[in-house]
């Protein structure tokens, strides 16, 4: 095996951190009804715990990235994992809905900057031709969180209460902190931070702004459905509560396949992968709306949903990194914030459809329309792109 094709151990350390962060973000979806009952709020209000987390990522990512831009990237990653661990401890101890919301927002501050800085670190560990694959490998931790962390956390929450799940996630944070400390290389003096004004000029390009909007809308469709996956499966498809964890396991398997597939497609033809994966996701969301009326088609839809949802991640992230090559840290973190603004918007939209629209049955179709909007914006972004959008410019290491 050549040095160029060997996977650096640091990528697995970044994946470990992504696993912990992904688990705390997604696990509450499998416990939505339990949290709502325990804290005496409605399902839509419980869904806002996801929106609050996502908005915290959106606001915190650029602010923390700017504040930590001159620090060692390894030190930043370690500090963020410490915030993540303490935030989950606060969630486990939260006595009320308002306190839990505040704890979720604190926890979310680690999210955007971790994935933003982590993406830059990941691309700096490999040759240029493998940068999308490096990002997708780091995000494999996020998909493993859905495959293993979320079903396990949901099962633990049903068995011992939802607070036990957050205690367990805090323990995952401690492990991830140790792995990152051991495996991610020190980078003192290895990278220069461009002036903030130059970074803002890079971000202000039309293709970058359109890329960020594509992420918001494209992934917003995912969370319009994903946020309410438990009531969709139990109240629409007729599955019992005990069936939700294994179905989330199936969905998580799809996420892993889609994540790796999206990375390979983006390495080959970035622009085509960007638009193609969004169109495929919109089609799967529409199919999900039709399939949830029977159990077997619903299972097929969950697997396809997982594949289509995370096939979009590497193209969306790499597109913004390419277009804002002069501001890799800020662009990467802003795009993670855009993912989470899409999450917040999707969770809110799904709640509006449930509470004030036509109910649960319309949620997947609403998600499909949002993602189609993302594909349309992506086409506009391609037209506004810098020359040769498929060939990646060198990002700062």
Instruction: Specify the DSSP class assigned to residue 71.
Output: S
Query: Mind listing the pLDDT tens digit for each residue in 268-296?
Result: 888 889 999 999 999 999 999 999 988 99
Of 280, 279, 274, 273, nearest in space to 254 by CA:
280
Tell me how far apart the terminal alpha carbons of the chain are, to the nearest angstrom: 24
Q: State pTM to two decimals.
A: 0.69
* Burial (CB count within 10 angstroms: exposed 0-12, middle 13-18, buried 19+), residue 286: middle
**Cα separation of 306 and 21, whole Å?**
18
> What residue ranges do the domains of the chain occupy?
9-187+195-383
Token pair in block for residue 368: 């499909």
**Cα separation of 278 and 17, whole Å?**
27
Query: Mind listing the pLDDT tens digit for each residue in 107-155?
Result: 888 887 887 788 778 877 777 667 777 777 787 787 778 778 878 888 8
* pLDDT value of position 395: 36
Query: Mind listing the pLDDT tens digit for each residue in 17-43?
Result: 888 888 887 788 778 888 888 998 887
Whether CATH 1.10.3720.10 fits 9-187+195-383: no
Element at 75 (helix H, strand E) = helix 73-93
Query: Mind listing the pLDDT tens digit for each residue in 203-240?
Result: 778 888 898 999 999 989 998 998 888 889 998 888 98
**Cα separation of 266 and 194, whole Å?**
27
In this predicted structure, the answer to whether residue 391 has a pLDDT above a threshold of 50 is no
Compute the C-alpha angle 178/327/127, nearest 5°: 65
Q: How many CA atoms within 13 Å lie on the side-chain side of 73?
A: 29
**Cα separation of 149 and 225, whole Å?**
19
Compute the C-alpha angle 343/265/386, nearest 5°: 80
In the three-class reduction of DSSP (H, G, I as helix; E, B as strand; rest coil), residue 359 is classed as: coil
* pLDDT value of position 331: 77
The pLDDT-based confidence of 387 (bands split at 50, 70, 90) is low
**CB-based contacts of 213: which residues, under 8 Å, 6+ apart?**
338, 374, 377, 381
Compute the C-alpha angle 353/357/363, nearest 5°: 35
The pLDDT-based confidence of 194 (bands split at 50, 70, 90) is low
Contact at 8 Å (CB) between 323 and 196?
no
Query: Mind listing the pLDDT tens digit for each residue in 334-357?
Result: 887 788 788 778 988 988 898 887
The pLDDT-based confidence of 66 (bands split at 50, 70, 90) is confident
* pLDDT value of position 90: 93
């Amino acid at each position: 095996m050549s040095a160029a094709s060997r996977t650096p151990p640091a990528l697995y350390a970044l994946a470990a951190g992504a696993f912990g962060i992904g688990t705390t973000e997604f696990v509450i979806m499998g416990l939505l009804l339990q949290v709502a009952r325990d804290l005496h709020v409605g399902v839509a209000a419980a869904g806002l715990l996801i929106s609050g987390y996502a908005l915290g990522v959106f606001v915190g990512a650029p602010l923390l990235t700017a504040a930590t831009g001159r620090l060692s990237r390894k030190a930043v990653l370690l500090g963020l994992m410490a915030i993540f661990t303490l935030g989950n401890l606060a969630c486990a101890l939260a006595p009320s809905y308002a306190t839990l919301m505040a704890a979720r927002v604190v926890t979310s501050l680690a999210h955007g900057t971790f994935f933003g800085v982590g993406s830059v670190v990941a691309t700096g560990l490999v040759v240029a031709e493998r940068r999308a694959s490096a990002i997708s490998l780091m995000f494999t931790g996020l998909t493993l969180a859905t495959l293993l962390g979320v079903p396990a956390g949901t099962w633990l929450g049903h068995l011992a209460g939802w607070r036990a799940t957050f205690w367990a996630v805090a323990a995952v944070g401690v492990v991830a902190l140790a792995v990152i400390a051991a495996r991610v290389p020190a980078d003192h003096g290895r990278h220069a931070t461009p002036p903030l004004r130059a970074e803002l000029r890079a971000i202000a390009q039309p293709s970058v702004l359109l890329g960020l909007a594509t992420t918001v809308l494209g992934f917003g469709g995912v969370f319009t459905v994903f946020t309410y996956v438990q009531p969709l499966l139990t109240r629409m498809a007729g599955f019992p509560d005990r069936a939700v964890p294994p179905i989330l396991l199936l969905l998580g398997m799809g996420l892993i396949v889609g994540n790796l597939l999206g990375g390979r497609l983006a390495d080959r033809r970035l622009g085509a992968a960007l638009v193609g994966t969004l169109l495929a996701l919109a089609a799967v969301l529409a199919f999900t709306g039709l399939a949830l009326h029977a159990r077997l088609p619903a299972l097929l839809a969950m697997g396809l949903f997982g594949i289509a949802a995370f096939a979009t991640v590497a193209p969306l992230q790499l597109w913004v990194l390419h277009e804002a090559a002069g501001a890799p840290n800020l662009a990467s973190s802003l795009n993670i914030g855009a993912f989470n603004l899409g999450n917040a918007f999707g969770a809110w939209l799904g709640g509006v459809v449930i509470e004030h629209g036509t109910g649960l049955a319309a949620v997947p179709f609403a998600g499909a329309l949002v993602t189609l909007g993302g594909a349309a914006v992506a086409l506009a972004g391609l037209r506004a792109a810098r020359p040769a959008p498929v060939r990646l410019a060198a990002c700062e290491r």
